[in-house]
Amino acid sequence: MFFQQLINGLSLGALYGLIAVGYTVVYGIVKLINFAHGEIFMSGAFGALTVYLLMGSPAHVSTLFGLCVMLPLMMIGGIIAAVGIALLMERLAYRPLRDAPRLAPLISAIGVSISLQEIFRLFYGRIPGFPDAHAAIRFPDVAGISGVSVRIGGVDVQMSAIFTLAALAVCTAFLWFFINRTRSGRAMIATSQDPATASLMGIDVDRVIMIAFALGAALAAVAGVAHGLRYSNIDFRMGFTAGLKAFTAAVLGGIGNINGAVVGGLVLGVVEAMATTYIPGQFGGSAWKDVWAFVILILVLVFRPQGLLGSKVVDRA
């Protein structure tokens, strides 16, 4: 039972971690909490579904086709949708407010969040052959992952959980390499520490900001696909709760700290799984599962606002 819940919590946490990285990378560069990031995650799931529909909704395919053709194409579709929308959002809703008081882009973010939800709700089903998006839509099964589990250490582990954990591992490794070993990565580090001075070094800060949004969106899209595979359903509201929980994970790990976002996500997922399983009586069970994330958020903000891995730094004015 414990091991089962641990795996469950870790894979759920990997999902939060993938989304949380987007909050933290963008915050690290522009000091903005992008509250529309949950909708980027949702766009990723819809992008993957779109590719599946454009492929003609292939059913009863082989595992090889599912894992080597369908899944990669769906992920690419999700990433293109999420990155495209994120870049558009940065250009139209945030860049014009770059020098405005901090409250302005925050309100803009909430506006973008609601707009994106409504755009998917109202218009996705209008495309010929596409399902109506007013309610939950069934996410396509991918042969080799959906409904398949393997037995590890005496418990059944869903392939979708393994996929999510593997995706987190690969994305984190890629991100580490990108930030620490590439020219653009060095530019990101410098910009996060001091944007004005970074620009005096010859760094195009606008470009760095776009890269930050794009990276966060790509990881959120991967999470969107993982979410679809895990729950077999997606809907236009899915970004709201997942986004808030991932934001909690980012704060828990220390906002601005990429490793922190991953650790925060995993911790949050495990806490949620354990709390729903082991807390007895009226506060136990899945009815309360969404509460624990926010209890943690409040506890962190009160007792350790810099997060688990964040260092105490004075906020630059």
Binding site for other proteins (CB under 8 A): 183, 186-187, 189-190, 193-194, 196-206
* Residue closer to other proteins, measured from CB, 154 or 202: 202
Q: How far is the CB of 34 from other proteins (least distance, A)?
A: 23
Distance of CA 117 to the CA centre of its chain: 16
Q: How far is the CB of 19 from other proteins (least distance, A)?
A: 27
Q: How far is the CB of 309 from other proteins (least distance, A)?
A: 15
Contact 220, 37 (CB under 8 A): yes
Spatial distance between the Cα atoms of 11 and 268, rounded to a whole number of angstroms? 11
Q: How far is the CB of 196 from other proteins (least distance, A)?
A: 6
* Residue closer to other proteins, measured from CB, 131 or 185: 185
Q: Left if phi > 0, otherwise alpha if psi is -120 to 50, otherwise beta: which for 33?
A: beta
Q: How far is the CB of 186 from other proteins (least distance, A)?
A: 7
Q: How far is the CB of 305 from other proteins (least distance, A)?
A: 21
Q: In this structure, how many other beta carbons lie within 10 angstroms of the beta carbon of residue 294?
A: 12
Phi and psi at 220, nearest 5°, equal -65, -35
Helical segments of the chain, H only: 2-30, 37-54, 63-65, 71-89, 103-123, 159-181, 183-193, 195-200, 205-231, 238-253, 258-278, 289-303
* Residue closer to other proteins, measured from CB, 204 or 309: 204
* Residue closer to other proteins, measured from CB, 103 or 313: 313
* Residue closer to other proteins, measured from CB, 121 or 186: 186
* Residue closer to other proteins, measured from CB, 199 or 233: 199
Cβ within 8 Å of residue 313, ≥6 positions away: 306
Contact 15, 262 (CB under 8 A): no
